[in-house]
Chains A and B, each alone.
Chain A
Amino acid sequence: MLLLPCPWCGLREEVEFRYGGQAGIAYPADPDALSDEEWADYLFMRDNPKGPFAERWYHVHGCRRWFNLVRDTATNELLAEGR
């Protein structure tokens, strides 16, 4: 079980969190302007690296705040904390 740094609550057990996948996938400013391919890219295509990965977590059973961090998916080592 991972030990995750909630920026508001401190280190907490993984069971308090929900995973949010890759960080930084912003909702398009004008979805209507996108082609189907571009929309599919936003909806479904994701990085999935073996190594450092910027990802989102949601402290669902805690403060209910979202935050980002960078974790090495090859080792589960936390590399950077964020908000």
Chain B
Amino acid sequence: MAMRYWRAAEPKRSYDVVVVGGGGHGLATAYYLARNHDLTDVCVVEKGWLGGGNTARNTTIIRSNYLWDESAAIYEHSLKLWERLEEDLGLDLRFSQRGVLNLAHDLGEMRSSLRRVNANALNGVDAEWLTPAEVAAFCPVVNVSPDVRYPVLGATLQRRGGIARHDRVAWGFASVADRLGVDIVEHCEVTGFVRSPAGRVTGVETTRGTITANKVAVVAAGHTSVLAAMVGLRLPLQSHPLQALVSVLLTPVLDCVVMSNAVHVYVSQADKGELVMGAGIDGHNSYTQRGAFHLIEEQLAAALELFPVFAHAKLLRTWGGIVDVCPDASPIIGPTPIEGLWLNCGWGTGGFKATPGSGWVFAETIAKGEPAPLALPFALDRFTTGALINEHGAAAVAH
């Protein structure tokens, strides 16, 4: 194996930037800080093993067909980065633009899907509307019979959407960031923040000692609120378990990504052969990384409505991640009321696809000391002005 991964760095006492969270978004942030902004005096601290949180636990769907301009802009920027990421990172990410279908099952969903397709087209995001017959032609295993409880009335298709191998994304960002001089420190949990007398955050206390920094960037997904609480900051975030599941390996049966909000399915078949599905989000707050089993049962009942051919597929593994969800199902990116502390969180159920874009705009925001244009609409103050970016329709239960 010619591949070289990242060093096991010993943390220095001080850095320009400390990134808290060694998942995809944190590592992408560190990479783009180094690559785009020549900031290499950067340390990523991760409380567990690198990429072991939501990066390792998602269903790897990549798309940018969001309704609102602000979302489309950041997700499309991300998708464009995905399209050259294997080259950038020098690693096969199994990035496969196999097309993402979003099914519509009632007239209301048809209207909102068409609205989204049209908005996407005008925003330069590839989008098509497929009739049920076209859905069947594109993905023959979807049941488009009108005689089911919620028939497929059509679908949007983003051909540039697809999947990638989640682990490799984290490893790729880590490895290249490492070579650019970023220190990546695993098994290093932040236990507190260092504050100046004026209240500015000037570093982090960790299980491996105090690390000071000019800027501290928190990219901790489900644990963001826990870190924010250490500096007395309350956020519009709630952490919920979200489950995913895979089947045993199967011979090829599904060559695109299919998502359905109404019937609640999102599924693809990974390159190895397992069907990868997401299940529902648990309603209650929890950090247990395990969800309720009835959500798995409901998910598979829904899956068989759409894919009768999956009846004999076997469930191999289920697991849970902890998603941090905002009231408008959009992320928070930018400064906080506390000087020196920067936040990138609230990606909820849809963070994987945003990984490079999120890192890119967050790095720009940190480096320049002000929100990047693509990040500006996602600032924390939208909860005060009311300028929410309501992506419940697009994000809904699936993503």
Which residues of A are at the interface with B, using a C-beta cutoff of 8 A?
1-2, 14-15, 18-19, 21, 36-37, 39-41, 43-50, 53, 55, 71, 73-76
* Distance, CA A38 to CA B286, complexed state (A): 27
Residues of A within 8 A of B287 (CB): 50, 73-74
15 pairs of residues in contact across A and B, judged by CB atoms under 8 Å: A1-B294, A2-B292, A43-B327, A45-B383, A47-B229, A48-B324, A50-B226, A50-B239, A50-B287, A53-B285, A55-B284, A73-B285, A73-B287, A74-B288, A76-B286
Closest-CB distance, B291 to chain A (whole angstroms): 9
Contact residue among A2, A14, A19, A36 (Cβ-Cβ distance under 8 Å from B384): A36
Q: Does B392 contact A (CB under 8 A)?
A: no
Q: Which among B285, B383, B384, B385 is the interface contact of A48 at CB below 8 angstroms?
A: B285
Task: State whether B235 touches A43 (Cβ < 8 A).
Answer: no
A/B pair count, beta carbons within 8 Å: 69
Q: Which residues of A contact B225 (CB under 8 A)?
A: 47-49
> Contact at B234–A45, with CB atoms within 8 Å?
yes
- List residues of chain A with CB within 8 A of the CB of B175: none
- In this complex, what residue of B is CB-closest to A57? B284
CB distance from B304 to the nearest CB of A (A): 20
**Which chain B residues lie closer than 8 Å to A71 at the CB level?**
284
Q: Is B329 an interface residue (CB 8 A)?
A: no
Q: Is B49 an interface residue (CB 8 A)?
A: no
Q: How far, in whole Å, are A18 and B285 apart by their CA atoms in the complex?
A: 12
A7 to B225, CA, bound (A): 30
On whether the beta carbons of B234 and A2 are closer than 8 Å, the reply is: no
Q: Which residues of B contact A48 (CB under 8 A)?
A: 225-226, 229, 235, 237-239, 285, 324
